[in-house]
Amino acid sequence: MGKYIINGDKRLVGEVSVSGAKNAVLPILAATIVGGNRSTIFNTPNLRDVDIMEKILLSIGCKVERMDNIMYVDSRNLSSTNIPDELVREMRSSIILMGSMLARCGETTVSYPGGCEIGPRPIDLHLKALRQMGAEIDESHGFLYCCCKELKGCEIQLDYPSVGATENTILAAVRAKGTTIIRNAAREPEIIDLQNYLNKCGGKVSGAGTSIIRVEGVDKFEDVEYTIMSDRIVTGTYMAASAITGGEVVVKNIETNHIQAIVAKLKEAGCLIYNDNSSLKVIGPEKINCIEMTQTLPYPGFPTDMQAQMMALLSIANGTSIISETVFENRFKHSDELIRMGANIKIIGKVAIIKGVKELTGAKVTSKDLRGGASLVLAGLKAKGTTEVEDIFHIERGYEDLDKNLRKLGADIVKIE
């Protein structure tokens, strides 16, 4: 499973460049199926989840080639409509293949998805939207059997601005007959990236980044070259790493408009932040300020994917902070591990009360999900003594070369296979 060994209490200084976004590249790789075309994807991050998506694409007959951070996908000749069960169970976002496969083939079989154990993430919104467009979906024995004679455009009102449901609906609608209007759509930047990729292929999608998205179905798609946006959660994690160590880190290759909620909270915590359009510098304070309330919300609110990292930071703040998790039900698993390192955290339902302590101490801890694992690395960077973070395969689902990049900034961290 692998682990990180971190000797803490080292101030981070230097520059780090952010790779392509996990949450953008996965739906775009699913979208490569829709058009039966050839796609060259630049700035593809080297992540465990991307490896799984590559295996899925190969399993259904796509040709895939990778060289460094470039990925070539030829989906002209599919040979299967069944998504392998063992791969779907490893990665929750594989559910977005339903929309792609229905749009392209009119049928698919997929098992209920797996991934991080951060509480129930029901796919009812996905299924409801696809059914409204004409899909017949039979749920039995842990599998979803999906088919349709023809997907038809319609008006869809999402009960919640779910990112995955928005993406799945767009992917299904892009080849559907007529026009689909998605109301209460998620507004995340990764959805804009998906729209831009599809439009570059010949799709007609508009409104991404707002709550109303319009998709006009088309039949023909062109070969395309596309560059993935940078990862705003990786950006936020390196910003938090600079903050927690009292460091001075420049984070490059970023889109500053995507991280305003993170910037605001880190400034509230006492950080000095200077930025231009594609980079920023974070100077951590001698002592972290407590933050009265941090509430996770859909974009443009504070991202749930930064909640764990913020908890690690606030565990050494001067005073008491509160975090309210409104997006996922069971996303405080990292708190038990932080407590092993000396943090003072109480969980009451969806609220975490964090009383700052003078120092964290190294301990043997376990990564239980992707972002929770990142929070343990941040805590280890600050802690006195040695921290061992086990099960880092979770972390590698979303962070490319995390240990190498932190070493370049002055961290004492090694990876043990």
327 is in an annotated binding site: yes
Would you tell me the crossing angle of helices 97-105 and 163-173 to the nearest 10 degrees? 10
Q: Is 102 annotated as a binding residue?
A: no
CA atoms within 13 A on the CB side of 173: 29
Spatial separation of the C-alpha atoms in residues 303 and 137, rounded to whole Å: 32
Report how far apart, in Å, the C-alpha atoms of 242 and of each of 138, 177, 325 are: 49, 50, 24
Q: Which of 62, 116, 148, 290 is catalytic?
A: 116
Instruction: For residue 121, say whether it is annotated as part of any ligand binding site.
Output: yes
Look up 271 and say whether it is catalytic: no
Backbone phi and psi for residue 191, each to the nearest 5 degrees, phi listed first: -75, -35
Residue 124 annotated as binding site? yes
Element (H, E) at 95: none
Structural tokens at position 204? 């007609």
The response to whether 123 counts as a known ligand-binding position is: yes
Name which of 244, 250, 237 is nearest 284 in CA terms.
244
Any binding-site annotation on 22?
Answer: yes
Q: Is the bond preceding residue 189 a cis peptide, omega within 30 degrees?
A: no
Give residue 379's identity as a one-letter amino acid code: A
Instruction: Confirm or deny that 199 is annotated as ligand binding.
Output: no
State phi, psi for 241 to the nearest 5 degrees.
Answer: -65, -40
User: Quick one: tokens of 163?
Assistant: 């990112």
User: Is 413 annotated as belonging to a binding site?
Assistant: no
Is 303 annotated as a binding-site member? no
Q: Is 305 labelled a binding residue?
A: yes
- The catalytic site residues sit at 116
